[in-house]
Amino acid sequence: MTSLRSRIFKLALLIVAVALPISAHVGSADVFFEGSAGPYHLFVTIRVPQVIPGVAEIEVRSESGDVRSIQIVPLRLTGQGSNLAPTPDLTVQSKDDPQFFTGNLWLMESGALQVRIMADGTKGKGEISVPVASFAQRVLPMEKPLEWTLLFLMIFLAVGIISIVGAGAREAKLDPGRVPGPPNSRHARIIMAATAVAVITALFLGRSWWGSVDLDYQRNVNHYKPPQAETSLENGNRLILRVSGLDTTWNGRIDLSKLILDHEHLMHLFLIGMPGMDRMWHLHPNPTPDGAFAENLPNMPAGRYQLYADIVDRRGFPWTLVAEVDLPQISDGVPLSGDDSSWSGAPLASAAGNQTVAALADGGRIVWNVPPGPLQSNVAMDFKFTVEDQSGKPAQDVQTYMGMAGHAEFVRSDFTVFAHVHPAGSVSMAALDLAQASLPGATSSPQDSNPEGMAMSMPMPNSSASIPPEVGFPYGFPQPGDYRIFVQVKRAGRVQTAVFDAHVQ
């Protein structure tokens, strides 16, 4: 019976393998980071360029007013290019807001990079590195006015060269003062016709070349789009995930057997109920011997789920696998354990405004200290939350959850944006470890010194010890719309999730 049911479920499992209309990681490429460069606490925003090589815009806000200057410099995150730095760029200090610094940096390559930030001030010098996933996001279309201008100039140049060749053929060999005769003109016309053929051929070849470059570039853009997760269900509740790139080049580069730990796990899997996000599971599949990942699912209702799976490759580049899956009802699932967690509740209410208080399963609640005024897209914010107990007082039993004070997932209503954010920001914690390990003075790799993959930059107390009930997440909404924010904390050994809905203008 179990075997029959398993086969039926396998057949029933529908994988919607159509690529989502989203850009990589997922729809949220800019980097938001909070950390300390020596004695200075900094809030860093890196607006990554749309094309690579391209210019990244860097914004740094110092928590205190004692920073005099900030220099920025790009390097590779690991391997060659991570130990030689170009001349640092000096950021510009705002005259109106002396704690705010801005600068531009060329990101010359795709892949896992880092931006090293060197602060200087009254307390001396401090340094920190912020990992950046550098990738081309789109191909810029040509605007009509420029298209017409270039077309006109091309026609002008084409006609011009034909005319010049004609004039040369007709008159250039004549002695000064001699008037060209009919034979000269006839000869010129023949030469002009041949030149016209040559020019048209050259233009055609040039256009083909352009098309070939465009295709190659589009392939590169596609290469960094969120890869599809191939899923299957075994034995009724065992979810198998395999990564599937768009082409063989991608498949050759990403190897699921060569990932690195990202805050204690190789994969963070999120299953979110569609379409209203009324259910959410945060699970941690384990690798299988054949290069896939597997997770014994808990009890779940049948339905369509959006799947996001965060992994980090060995170079420190974060990937988010995506898929839409139709799951049958799972009633003989495995109870949640360890760091796994779930939530269910009301669906996302469109245009409901910003919700500032959300209940926890144990009767406590989390309060979002939302700034006044409407939420704006593309604005860096520090999302601050306070955990309160059943009596409404700041909770005294908050513990670290996978090494951190909390985890937050920002998901847009159409699932085109997904960001897994931590108190250090939107960067991958594994990549952040690699970045800090590459700083001058660091002696060992993070995977050597910290096999659990815990963020070296944020040493946290023992997981059972209580930590302050306030948690903040640096992030910025990439586009307007309705968002659901899942805030996850651990209280008295139990992972709990609060959900906030936000409307972004």
- Shortest CA distance to 292 belongs to which of 375, 230, 248? 230
Q: Which range in 124-132, 134-142, 402-410, 463-471 contacts other proteins by CB under 8 A?
A: 134-142
**Footprint of other proteins on 161-180 (CB under 8 A):** 161, 163-164, 166-168, 170-177
Between CA 461 and CA 399 the distance in angstroms is: 9
Shortest Å distance, C-beta 456 to other proteins: 22
Q: Which range in 103-111, 227-235, 360-368, 479-487 contacts other proteins by CB under 8 A?
A: 103-111
Shortest Å distance, C-beta 84 to other proteins: 4
Contact call for residue 357 and other proteins (CB under 8 A): no
Residue from 20, 118, 136, 424 touching other proteins (CB under 8 A): that is 136
Nearer to other proteins (CB atom), residue 150 or residue 197? 150
- The site string for other proteins over 451-480 (x = CB under 8 A, - otherwise) reads ------------------------------
Between CA 463 and CA 404 the distance in angstroms is: 9
Please tell me the count of residues contacting other proteins according to CB under 8 A: 54
The neighbour count for residue 505, using CB atoms within 10 Å, is 11
Alpha carbon 428 to chain centroid, angstroms:
9
Contact call for residue 362 and other proteins (CB under 8 A): no
| Burial state string for 255-275 with b = 16 or more CB within 10 A and e = fewer than 16 | ebeebbbbbbbbbbbbbbbbe
Strand pairing category for 31-37 and 40-47: antiparallel
Q: Identify the burial level of 391 via C-beta atoms within 10 angstroms of its C-beta, where 0-12 means exposed, 13-18 middle and 19 or more buried.
A: exposed
Between CA 220 and CA 225 the distance in angstroms is: 9
Residue from 8, 12, 17, 53 touching other proteins (CB under 8 A): that is 53
Residue from 7, 16, 148, 214 touching other proteins (CB under 8 A): that is 214
Shortest Å distance, C-beta 76 to other proteins: 4
CA atoms within 13 A on the CB side of 200: 6
Contact call for residue 150 and other proteins (CB under 8 A): yes
Nearer to other proteins (CB atom), residue 164 or residue 302? 164
Q: Identify the burial level of 100 via C-beta atoms within 10 angstroms of its C-beta, where 0-12 means exposed, 13-18 middle and 19 or more buried.
A: middle
What is the rounded (10 degree) CA torsion for 485, 486, 487, 491? 160
Q: Which range in 107-115, 230-238, 315-323, 333-341 contacts other proteins by CB under 8 A?
A: 107-115
Nearer to other proteins (CB atom), residue 139 or residue 361? 139
Contact call for residue 181 and other proteins (CB under 8 A): no
Are the beta carbons of 58 and 104 closer than 8 angstroms? yes
End-to-end CA distance of the chain: 53
Nearer to other proteins (CB atom), residue 180 or residue 301? 180
Nearer to other proteins (CB atom), residue 219 or residue 304? 219
Shortest Å distance, C-beta 317 to other proteins: 14
Helix (H, G, I), strand (E, B) or coil at 357: strand
Helix (H, G, I), strand (E, B) or coil at 278: coil
Between CA 156 and CA 277 the distance in angstroms is: 57
Contact call for residue 139 and other proteins (CB under 8 A): yes
Query: What does the angle CA 303 – CA 307 – CA 313 come to, to the nearest 5 degrees?
Result: 160
Q: Which range in 14-22, 135-143, 266-274, 355-363 contacts other proteins by CB under 8 A?
A: 135-143
Nearer to other proteins (CB atom), residue 78 or residue 237? 78
Residues 6+ apart with CB under 8 A from 454: 263, 264, 403, 429, 460
Q: Which range in 5-13, 146-154, 388-396, 437-445 contacts other proteins by CB under 8 A?
A: 146-154
Shortest Å distance, C-beta 437 to other proteins: 16
Shortest Å distance, C-beta 494 to other proteins: 44
Are the beta carbons of 115 and 73 closer than 8 angstroms? yes
Are the beta carbons of 312 and 318 closer than 8 angstroms? yes
**Footprint of other proteins on 62-91 (CB under 8 A):** 73-76, 80-82, 84-87, 89
- The answer to whether the bond into 53 is cis (omega within 30° of 0) is yes
**Footprint of other proteins on 268-327 (CB under 8 A):** none
Nearer to other proteins (CB atom), residue 176 or residue 373? 176
- List residues near other proteins by CB under 8 A: 49, 51-54, 73-76, 80-82, 84-87, 89, 106, 108-109, 113, 136, 139-142, 146, 149-150, 153-154, 156-157, 160-161, 163-164, 166-168, 170-177, 206, 209-210, 213-214, 217
